[in-house]
């Protein structure tokens, strides 16, 4: 239930730059691009801005290969690898709400890779845990 002071707002997407990270697993080089997509924005008393977002991942492998398909249920029974990461770009999503610039970023908390599980293109399954940081200017 929303209070009368909390209002859903229309917003304009100004820019969308992915968080980009790279890592290696054995002889395979992997690039992951995470796009932070806003889908709801609310304001309270026209001061506080809250953004609800989700992530979309693009994964690219230097050596794609077929394997057992990614599935959240299968991830419970497979052992993940925690790679050493190199963050190439921290990424940022910028929106405009009521003439205010709002910047959201994802802060990675954990990255698990399942090299024996693969997506439809032969890339390894990657599971990211993240929190959202929001800055209103």
For 61-112, write each residue's pLDDT tens digit: 999 999 999 998 988 899 999 999 999 999 999 999 988 999 999 999 999 9
pLDDT(38) > 70: yes
Residue with tokens 């497979």: 78
Alpha-carbon distance of 5 to 7, in angstroms, equals 6
Report the C-alpha gap between 25 and 53 in whole angstroms. Answer: 30
| Nearest CA-CA partner of 121 in 64, 80, 75, 70 | 64
Let me know: does 79 contact 14? Beta carbons within 8 Å. Answer: no
What whole-number distance in Å separates Cα of residue 120 and Cα of residue 7? Answer: 40
Whether residue 1 is predicted with pLDDT greater than 60 in this model: the reply is: no
- How sure is the predictor about 16, in pLDDT bands with cuts at 50, 70 and 90? very high
Q: What global pTM score does this model have? A: 0.88
| Structural domain boundaries, residue 99 | 6-136
Total number of domains constituting the chain:
1
Asked whether residue 1 is assigned to any structural domain, the reply reads no
């Amino acid at each position: 239930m929303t209070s009368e002071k909390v209002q859903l707002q229309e917003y304009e997407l100004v820019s969308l730059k992915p968080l980009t990270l790279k890592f290696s697993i054995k002889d395979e080089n992997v690039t992951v691009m995470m796009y932070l997509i806003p889908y709801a924005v609310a304001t309270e008393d026209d001061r506080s801005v809250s953004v609800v977002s989700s992530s979309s991942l693009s994964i690219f492998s230097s050596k794609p290969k077929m394997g057992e398909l990614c599935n959240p249920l299968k991830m419970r029974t497979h052992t993940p690898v925690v790679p050493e990461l190199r963050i190439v770009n921290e990424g940022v999503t910028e929106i405009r709400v009521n003439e205010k610039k709002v910047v959201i970023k994802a802060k990675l908390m954990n990255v698990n890779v399942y090299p024996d599980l693969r997506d439809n293109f032969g890339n390894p399954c990657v599971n990211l845990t993240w929190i959202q940081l929001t800055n209103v200017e």
